[in-house]
Amino acid sequence: MLRDLVIIGGGPGGYEAAIRASQLGANVTLIEEDKLGGTCLNRGCIPTKSLYKNAGALEAVKSMAEFGVSVGEYTFDMAIAQKRKNEVVGKLVSGIEQLLKGNGVEVVRGRASFKGAKTLNVITAEGAEEITATNIIIATGSSPSEVPVPGIEDHRVVTSDELLNFEHVPKSLAILGGGVVGVEFAGIFASLGTEVTIIEFLPKILYRLDDELSKKLTVYLKKQGIKILTGSMLKEVQSSEDGLKITVENGKGPEEIYSDYLLAAAGRKPNTQGLDLEVSEIEYDKKGIKVDANYETSVKGVYAIGDAIGGVMLAHAASEEGKVCVENIYGHSSEVDYGAIPSCVFTFPEAASVGMTEEEAKEKNVEYIIGKSMFGANGKALTMAEGEGFVKVMAEKESHKIIGVHIMGPHASDIVHQGSMAIHCGLTVEDIKESVFAHPTLSEVFYEAVCGCIGEAIHSMPRKK
């Protein structure tokens, strides 16, 4: 039987594309070899945020005296934390299963590979099945990149998948990679009491963030006891009596780090292996599957989205690409506003960013103005004892349109969406200035930063002329 639409991969991009296509009247088949929800739900975003909440609870306990609460001695049980994490993940996976069922999406459990341009060979528990379709969307996601370094195969070198399932808190942990994954794990395990060292090849951690945001967050991470080695290359991993001897090289020469474990978090690679893309002549390289503006591959009627095409490797970007892809397939004109996709880092404090960084604006010769407001001057933040951080807003100099928002502070991951909507809708400083923000709220810091772009912030000292 010829299917209308077949989607390979049930992660955020795949399952949301399936539901949206069903809403548009398509008969949809979703093929998934593992659990629905993909890496994000099962081995990424959700599990890490569950452990992040555990770490946050510990951080709160440490500061209870400030609120007049005496807790005495306390302990942390990783097994209970893991149980809670697994329950959260299980509940969400079950929810996706019900959503797909409720929307009439056929789910096939198996591994798909191309047998022809529009024909798939699917290996299921029952055997092989051949499926043909009018349209196919590849949404196979990504996996941790391999690091070609001597000794990297040691069993104490782990991926994020393995670290998420640890039943104990290691005494020490080295992390290769200062991107979002590495930095988030660093914050979590440092809060749990682990001695953490980040090894980053580039001159700064979180290199995609605005430079000021990256530098300020680095300071706070170091205050939490996290050792950060930037401009450092991993040279070798050796087994030692106490765990691992990790050799790195930087401007100061070779340096040895001793650690119980090494987390390999130096990027991710698109999952294209095993799909037999060559059979259908779908063009791809190590960066991912090649697509056009409508996510169509070199083969008409075959599309690809999410991490499988490289680019913005974020779950919410994959979801948006999936929905836009099927909308264009079924006669709608849609596109993803990549300039308004926010990114968040769940550290203590949180960091979030959307739009242009200062470095990008300078590179593109965009003239801009800046407004900044500190959480330390915000009533809500101070009542929460979370006055660290700031909101930085960038606007075009001539039009005053908001072009970038960068936040470090409490609930940055929630506040950043005000910046995302402002950028997507082309709002100006004046548009937002004329809005009324409730008091006392953390969002007032965003409002003050916007007003600061034109020197009209009330709760910031006036700039010296």
Catalytic annotation, residues = 439
> Are the CB atoms for 351 and 407 separated by under 8 Å?
yes
280 phi-psi bin (left φ>0, alpha ψ -120 to 50, beta other): alpha
Classify burial at 189, counting beta carbons within 10 Å of its beta carbon; exposed 0-12, middle 13-18, buried 19 or more.
buried
Angle between helix 12-23 and helix 78-102 axes, rounded to 10 deg: 20
> Are the CB atoms for 123 and 210 separated by under 8 Å?
no
Q: Give the separation between CA 8 and CA 28, rounded to whole angstroms.
A: 11
Q: Give the separation between CA 185 and CA 163, rounded to whole angstroms.
A: 9
Copy the structure tokens of residue 122: 């699917």
CA atoms within 13 A on the CB side of 165: 7
* Backbone phi and psi for residue 3, each to the nearest 5 degrees, phi listed first: -85, 155
Q: Encode burial over 347-376: b for 16+ CB neighbours within 10 A, e otherwise.
A: bbbbbbbbbbbbeebeeeeeebbbbbbbbe
Per DSSP, what are the bridge partners of residue 234? 248
Q: Give the separation between CA 238 and CA 227, rounded to whole angstroms.
A: 20
Question: Closest Cα to residue 21, out of 141, 140, 134?
Answer: 134
Question: Closest Cα to residue 432, out of 395, 407, 379, 406?
Answer: 395
